[in-house]
Structures are given as C-alpha cells and as structure tokens.
Amino acid sequence: MYMKKESARPIISRRSRPAKTPLSRDVIVSSALEILDRDGLAGLSLRRVAAALDTGAASLYVYLTNLDELHALMLDEALATVQLPKSRRLSWRDRLKAFLLSYLHVLYNRRGLAQLALSTISSGPRTLLIWERLLGLLKEGDVEDAKAAWGVDLLTLYVTAIAAEKSNWRESGEGPGRVKDALLSASVEEFPLVVAFREALLSGDAEARLDWALDIIIDGIVGGRLPAASSAVPRPTQRRGTRSKP
C-alpha cells in the first residue's frame, strides 16, 4: 500500500471489487511505461493512461500530484532493469563501463525515456541504487571519495544526455542527416576547420563514440585532480546543485 506524499492516510481503491483493475501508483506507472514504449513521449498523456486503465484522467490525481510526478516514478521504475555484471573476472572498470552501457540501453530502448530522464528530477530508490553501485565500483577502483562523488554525477549526466541525443535522432526519422547536410554544405571560407575535420566529425558509430568518451571520463576521474571546494572561475547567478546529483 503506497502513500501519496503529505497524505498520512492510506488510499484504498474503491475498485477492490471485481471488474476494474484496482488503481494504485504502481498500476498507473506500469501502464504509463507501456504507453511510452508503444507511442513515445509525445504519445504519453494522463488521458491515455487513464483510458488504458478504464478510468478518467481526474482519477489519477488521487494517486499522483501531477504529470511531473508520474514522470519521476516512471523513470525510477524503469531503472530497476539496469544490470550490473556479476562476473568478478571482469575488472572494476569493465564492470563500470558495462553498467553504464546497461543504463544507456534502458534509457535508449524505451522510446522517449531518455528525453524524459533529462527533464525529470529522479530521486527514488532505484535511482539511489544506481548511485550506490556506481560508488561501489569507483571505490573498488580506489578512486578518492570526492572524485567518486562528483564523477558519478558526471557519468550519469553524460550517459543520459547521449541516450537522449540518440533517441532524438531515432524519433526524427532522419538520423544525423541534418547535421551531415550542414557539414557537407558548410562553406570552407566560413568554416575552414569544420570542413577540414569533416570526415573525422562524421566518423565512427554511436557505440564507438560512447566507448571512447567513457574511457576519457573514467581516465579523468581516476587520474585527475581532486575537486576543489570552490573555484575562481566566473559563475552565473544560480543556485547550487544539479539533477541526479549524488
């Protein structure tokens, strides 16, 4: 039995009797993820989730505060399927990369989940478990605590972003066509380096790029400097803190 935030009293569905599926947060989230898989983020709406559960959109508000909360619950639920390889024969680093690859697969393979992840603040138990595992792997690699903490932030943000980017290409139906066109038609007078680097810019598949980038980042986390408590770089006016921030 789940309790909606700031509601001290448990919610009991009046559908405990047969015929209609009893409503609950779990049922709503599961149904929403099914719709996401089928129709992508553009096809996900409270009305469609309600219709799938044979109810009205307003009924969902008994269990959810709003659409943002549904998104957060969906993301956390989906992260349950991220897999950590169990084999101890792999190095900590290879297991870390495999874990991050699994994380990317979960985000990428469910239509729209990666985009949802980039606009959703998730802090549920499965998200915490992702952080726990990442910290464990970095600890196993003898990474200093401060670097591990900020490294987790960097790694998860990067993997989420690249999953979303790839998803955007897929959803657009033209892959990198538009960028390719821009590069191929770029003026050598205006963009000499872009034209000179054209082949390199277009080379490699997404997997190769990810693998390389993760090596770059992990190497940096392992061998780079410790985070400073503060920095002298000029800063924009905003609050501290970032999403998925462990």
Partner DNA sequence: GTTCTTGACGAACACTGTTCGTTATGCCGT
Partner DNA sequence: ACGGCATAACGAACAGTGTTCGTCAAGAAC
Considering only residues 34 through 93, tell me which ones interact with DNA, judged by CB under 7 A.
Answer: 44-48, 54-59, 61-63, 66-68
| CA angle, residues 53, 113, 246, in degrees to nearest 5 | 115
125 binds, among DNA, its own copies, none (CB under 5 to 8 A by kind): its own copies
CA distance 214 to 105: 15
Q: Tell the smallest beta-carbon distance from residue 219 to DNA (Å).
A: 42
- Name every residue whose Cβ is closer than 8 Å to that of residue 174 and which is 6 or more positions away in sequence: none
Q: 86 or 239: whose CB is closer to its own copies?
A: 239
Q: Tell the smallest beta-carbon distance from residue 55 to its own copies (Å).
A: 27
Q: Which of the stretches 19-27, 89-97, 170-178, 182-190 binds DNA when contact is defined by CB under 7 A?
A: 19-27
Neighbours of 50 (CB within 10 A): 19
186 binds, among its own copies, DNA, none (CB under 5 to 8 A by kind): its own copies
Which stretches of the chain are DSSP H helices? 25-39, 46-52, 57-60, 67-78, 92-109, 113-118, 125-140, 145-172, 177-184, 192-196, 198-202, 206-223
- Tell the residue number behind the tokens 């024969």, with chain if given: 89
Phi, psi values for residue 119, rounded to 5°: -115, 10
- Is residue 119 near DNA by the rule CB under 7 A? no
Q: What is the CA radius of gyration of the chain?
A: 22
CA distance 130 to 133: 5
Give the closest residue to 96 by CA, choosing from 36, 142, 50: 142
Q: Tell the smallest beta-carbon distance from residue 6 to DNA (Å).
A: 13
Q: 12 or 179: whose CB is closer to DNA?
A: 12
- Is residue 16 near DNA by the rule CB under 7 A? yes
- Tell the residue number behind the tokens 């399927």, with chain if given: 81
170 binds, among DNA, its own copies, none (CB under 5 to 8 A by kind): its own copies
Q: Which of the stretches 10-18, 89-97, 119-127, 194-202 binds DNA when contact is defined by CB under 7 A?
A: 10-18
Q: 52 or 217: whose CB is closer to DNA?
A: 52
Q: 12 or 119: whose CB is closer to its own copies?
A: 119
Q: Contact residues for DNA (CB under 7 A)?
A: 9, 11-17, 20, 22-23, 44-48, 54-59, 61-63, 66-68
